[in-house]
Structure 1
Amino acid sequence: MALNSIVLKRAASLAAAINLIVPLFHADRIRDDQWHLRFLSIDSAHKQNLGEGVTVATVDTGVSPHSDLRKNLTSGTDLITGGNGQQDINSHGTSMAGLIAAHGNGSGGALGIAPRSRILPVRIAAQDGRGTPDDVAAGIDWAIEHEAKVISVSYAGASSARLRMSVDRAAREDTIVVAAAGNRPESLAVGFPAALDGVLAVGAVGRDGEHAELSVTGEAVAITAPGVDIYSTSTNNNYSKGSGTSAATAIVAGAAALVRSKYPELSAPEVVHRLTATATDKGAPGRDEQYGYGVLNLVAALTADVPPLSASAAPPATSSAATPEHEGGGRLPWAVVVVLVAAGLALPLFLWMRYRRREGAVK
């Protein structure tokens, strides 16, 4: 992928685009430019939790060491050339890591959503940012094996059998996979892995909290977050400004880390449920294709009284499985099912008895 991209791209699919690299001497103004922090009431959220004890894997282009990440960046892996994942000549992965876990320098520098969480860099793409679905799957598998509790995938591309298997494995291991829905005009539908069951698919909103035109829509979208003009860390200790569902995905991954840290007893589906149940509803009432369940409400996710998921509750936010329906909508009533089954059993018996009577008459 070209240097001016902020996405992991396969073919023409983009998740976001870097618009500007900001030199280090502007570090003192970066925090002020991070409008998404004020939008999410980050000061109030950080009074509740800072993400301590949670490891977030970034399946991306690697994460370059940055002064705003030095306390949180751990040794990961480079699935391309070997190494610890702390090489990033593209800048995308470093930007995503900063949105998740940058701690800044006092009141200066970049601040992440979960500044005491740990970043586990998993490098699956190099300078051009190209990665295949199987590359993403390998990154997810490695992150699971190294005990990441949240996996951030700012990638939108095609699917594969291995990718589906890796997502299923994450669900079995109680690991949250957060992924970018994708960007227009390059993508026309929600990409993978976001479109898979079990993945928290993220769309983007702008400064006004309204759906960002660049954000792909679709039934798989479960939640939205800020994704326009987002400042974060970059390579060579600089900063970046970008727009797209990549940034929104990293922000939601940071939110998942905060919830996992404050509520360690919650399962991955319960964490996702807490994030979607407390989201600020936008657009059509309930879930819709632009906002999913709504816009991330960080403070509510950390403080609201959220009833747990139950057998009678609505399907999980990441599920797109269809349920048998009749013409009027909804599941077939049990009474109808019983009658149909009974009729199916009775008809052969009736025909057999009639045949026996006819056979006796012929004789």
Structure 2
Amino acid sequence: MLTFLGISALPSSPIAAKPTSLPPDDGPSRIRADQWHLATLDSGEANKISQGEGVTVAVPDTGVYPHPDLRGNLLPGIDLINGGQHDDGQDDRNSHGTGMAGLIAAHGQEGSRGARGIAPRAKILPIISSTADNRSNPDDLGKAIEYSVSSGAGVISISSAGGSSPALRRAIREALRADVVVVAAVGNRPLDTEVGYPASEDGVIAVGGVDEFGTHAAVSVTGPEIDVVAPAVDIYSTSIDGKYRKGTGTSDATAIVAGAAALIRSKYPYLPAREVAHRLTATAVDKGPPGRDDEYGYGVIDLVAALTADVPPLGFESVSAPVGAGPSTTAGAQPGDESDGATARGLATLGVIVAAGVGWAVLARRRRRGDDPPPRISR
């Protein structure tokens, strides 16, 4: 069994699995101010550089309702659960999938109204791979992954965690070999006690959560597999019937990181998936003990730095390399240049340890500069 990792809440019931009760005519005017994660991650500046154009993000989940804030960004998908009843995937009886899609690619409405996603010009491929009560199984998720790859998705956002199966493991590994960025939630306490699958799979970007102050979210599972963290507490997004939802969990953090991956893939269209993961980990804002740790991974994602920083590519590894030697990005590399078996965790570790040069040292210092932060995550 797989569990979907977001707790939606009505103001009167902090754990009720229902969309936030904001009427359609009132919600759009209020929601943007509640999306604290956008300002914290400086998404406005990031969107001056990239908005996710040309990238498709697959969302295997409860489906995606055609919310006004997603109009034009929602592709025809597939229903793998209800016998093809909603054969375009554009239906959602739960709100979870719609919320994840909004965090990735909502574009809002005129006058800064409505919800906005991290990559507002990316396309969403909706896949119904779980029932309305969030019940699913690994084989159904495996079919959703296969469909994502065959449909040309550049990023797959998996806001669920649990057990695996041979079919699911095979599908995930085939997606990685196909140069698709796979992002997955690590799991939520207290139901989960360790990093679930597919986040635990080598090569998958495993995402944990932080709160509004940049500290570890109590709901987020910890473990050595965690790569990066993102906002995961009181996260507002789109919901069914044109409404909005408030969620807490590593589901939300995962969708945000998937949006970040879409920004990178859009700016650097020939960057291999492993280099996308490397950019996210290498530019993350370090939290907790210096270096990678089991609560924060490599740190909180930094959208602007991930798009602009002078990050030595994987393979540029000589500790004696002179400053300025070699390329600073593999944006010009063609897909497929990577070797099979590369992992987000292993490769990111290698890049952090052995990359050298003044530019890299400056980047490392910048990543720790937020250790005495104002009330929000800082770079």
The two structures have a TM-score, normalised by structure 1, of 0.83
Shift of 1:53: 0.2
What is the CA–CA distance in structure 2 between the aligned matches of 1:210 and 1:219, rounded to whole Å?
Answer: 18
> Aligned to 1:308, which of 305, 313, 323?
313
Letter of the 1:134 counterpart: D
TM-superposed deviation, 1:14: 5.1
Residue 268 (structure 2) pairs with residue 255 (structure 1): no
Partner of 2:295 in structure 1? 290
Aligned pairs for 1:99-248 (under 5 A) are 99-106=103-110, 107-248=112-253
Q: Distance in 2 between matches of 1:246 and 1:176?
A: 16
Structure 1 segments (4+ residues) deviating >2 Å: 311-320
> Does residue 1:96 correspond to 2:89, yes or no?
no
2:28–2:109 Cα contact (<8 Å) kept: no
- What are the ranges of 5 or more consecutive residues in structure 1 without an aligned counterpart? 1-9, 321-363
C-alpha contact 1:88 1:126 (8 A) present in aligned 2 = no
Distance 2:157 2:126 in 1: 10
Q: Does 2:322 correspond to 1:317?
A: no
Amino acid in structure 1 at the alignment position of 2:102: G
Aligned residue for 2:214, secondary structure, equals coil
Give the secondary structure class of the aligned counterpart of 1:68: helix
Shifted more, 160-169 versus 105-114: the winner is 160-169
Instruction: Indicate the SS of the match to 2:66.
Output: coil
CA contact (8 A) 1:153 1:180 kept: yes
Taking the aligned partners of 2:343 and 2:273, their CA distance within structure 1 comes to 11
1:134 Cα offset (Å): 1.1
In structure 1, give the amino acid aligned to 2:7.
A
CA distance in 1: counterparts of 2:49 and 2:258, whole angstroms:
17
Give how far 1:312 is off. Answer: 4.5
Shift of 1:317: 2.9
AA matched with 1:103: H
Q: Deviations for 1:227-269, whole angstroms, at most 9, x for unmatched residues?
A: 0000000000000001000000000000000000001120000
- Paired residues in the alignment total 313
Q: Please report the TM-score for the alignment, with normalisation by the length of structure 2.
A: 0.80
| 1:313 CA displacement | 8.2
Deviation at 1:135, TM superposition (A): 1.2
Q: CA deviation at 1:318?
A: 3.3
- Corresponding residue for residue 88 of structure 2: 84
In the alignment, which residue of structure 1 is the partner of 2:360?
Answer: none
Aligned position for 1:26 = 27
- Partner of residue 327, structure 1: none
Cα deviation, residue 29, structure 1: 1.1
Compared CA separation, residues 32 and 60, structure 1 to 2 (3 A)? same
Amino acid at match of 1:88: D
What is the aligned partner in structure 2 of residue 323 from structure 1? Answer: none
Taking a change above 3 Å as real, the CA distance of residues 313 and 71 of structure 1, as seen in their structure-2 partners, is farther
Counterpart secondary structure, 1:104: strand
Asked if the contact 2:79/2:129 (under 8 Å) is kept, the reply is yes
Secondary structure of the structure 1 residue equivalent to 2:246: strand
AA matched with 1:141? E
Question: % of aligned pairs identical?
Answer: 57
**Residue identity in the other structure for 1:318:** R
* 2:5–2:251 CA contact under 8 A, matched in 1: yes
Aligned-pair CA distance for 1:26? 2.2
- Asked whether the equivalents of residues 14 and 183 of structure 1 are also in contact (C-alpha less than 8 Å), the reply is no
The 1:88–1:313 alpha-carbon spacing in structure 2 relative to 1, beyond 3 Å, is farther
Structure 1 residue 288 displacement after superposition: 0.8
Return the letter of the residue paired with 1:220: E
The 8 Å contact of residues 119 and 260 in structure 2, kept in 1 or not, is answered as yes
Alpha-carbon contact 1:180-1:246 (below 8 Å) kept: yes
Structure index of larger Rg: 1
Q: By how many angstroms is 1:74 displaced?
A: 0.7
Is the Cα contact below 8 Å between 1:57 and 1:120 reproduced in 2?
A: yes
- Once residues 147 and 313 of structure 1 are traced to their aligned partners in structure 2, the CA distance between those partners, rounded to angstroms, is 35
- The superposition leaves residues 100-142 of structure 1 with CA deviations (integer Å, 9 ceiling, x where unpaired) of 0000002100000000000000110121111111111111110
Does the Cα contact within 8 Å between 1:134 and 1:162 map onto a contact in 2? yes
